[in-house]
Amino acid sequence: MKPFVEELNHLGTHGMQYVNVDNDVVTCKVYSVCCSSDSCARPLLRETMQFNGRYGCDWCLTEAESIKHGDGISHIYVPSHDELKLRDNGSFVNDALHASLDNPINGVKGVSPLLFLPLFAIVLGFVPDYLHCVLLGIVRTFASLWFHKSNHAKPWYIGQPGYLLLVDNFLLCDLLVIFHVCLEAYLNVNFGRARSGNLSCCIIHYWYFMVNFLRST
Ligand SMILES: [Zn+2]
């Protein structure tokens, strides 16, 4: 990361020059303000604990609880009614300056080179990544709850053939698409391997109408 940070420091201070359409020489400064990476890469970039460690959340100071899971122990984040204590840049930098690999503070293990990026906010500059958190997280969870046969006895299950027909008819009115095409990935035995491409179609094209459908039924 060091060459990247050095280059960005140079571009943020001196900028780069180009000739625009009016033949003027323009100096343009470049900053990196947002970083999207998956949850395993994020702690490496920030010098922090991974999501499954103590204080492993990148945005708040929830400690996580250890529970027995199978033969081992899992760290989980239990929903709480207490207000979450959010991380902020100032305290993150302070933790980084006083922490070490053997003695992490609030999940921060040391000084990340990204702390030296101009204008980059080490806490809110990182965002939950779209592929894992949105598509393979939220969308797959909802698709499973609504359509996967393992939920067939649940009141929110709408994967019965009769309901699927209703879903199709409902969507045909608004979108002229047959939802079955998209649903195929969910209804087969490989549900857990539904591709993010299918899930992306779901959230972009169908979810809004699905929520209306659920309300209407
Ligand atoms: Zn959190």
pTM for the whole thing? 0.70
Domain boundaries, the chain: 38-127, 130-216
Calculate mean pLDDT across residues 122-146.
85
> How far away, in angstroms, is 6 Cα from ligand 1 center?
31
> How far away, in angstroms, is 20 Cα from ligand 1 center?
44
> How far away, in angstroms, is 60 Cα from ligand 1 center?
4
- What local confidence, expressed as pLDDT, does residue 182 receive? 53
> How far away, in angstroms, is 55 Cα from ligand 1 center?
8
> How far away, in angstroms, is 62 Cα from ligand 1 center?
6
Residue 75: phi, psi to the nearest 5? -100, 125
For the stretch 114-132, pLDDT in tens is 999 999 999 999 998 888 8
Whether the predicted pLDDT of 168 surpasses 90: no
- What local confidence, expressed as pLDDT, does residue 130 receive? 83
Long-range contacts, 187-192 (Cβ 8 Å, 24+): 187/147, 187/148, 187/149, 187/159, 191/144, 191/148
Closest CA to 14 of 3, 2, 30, 36: 30
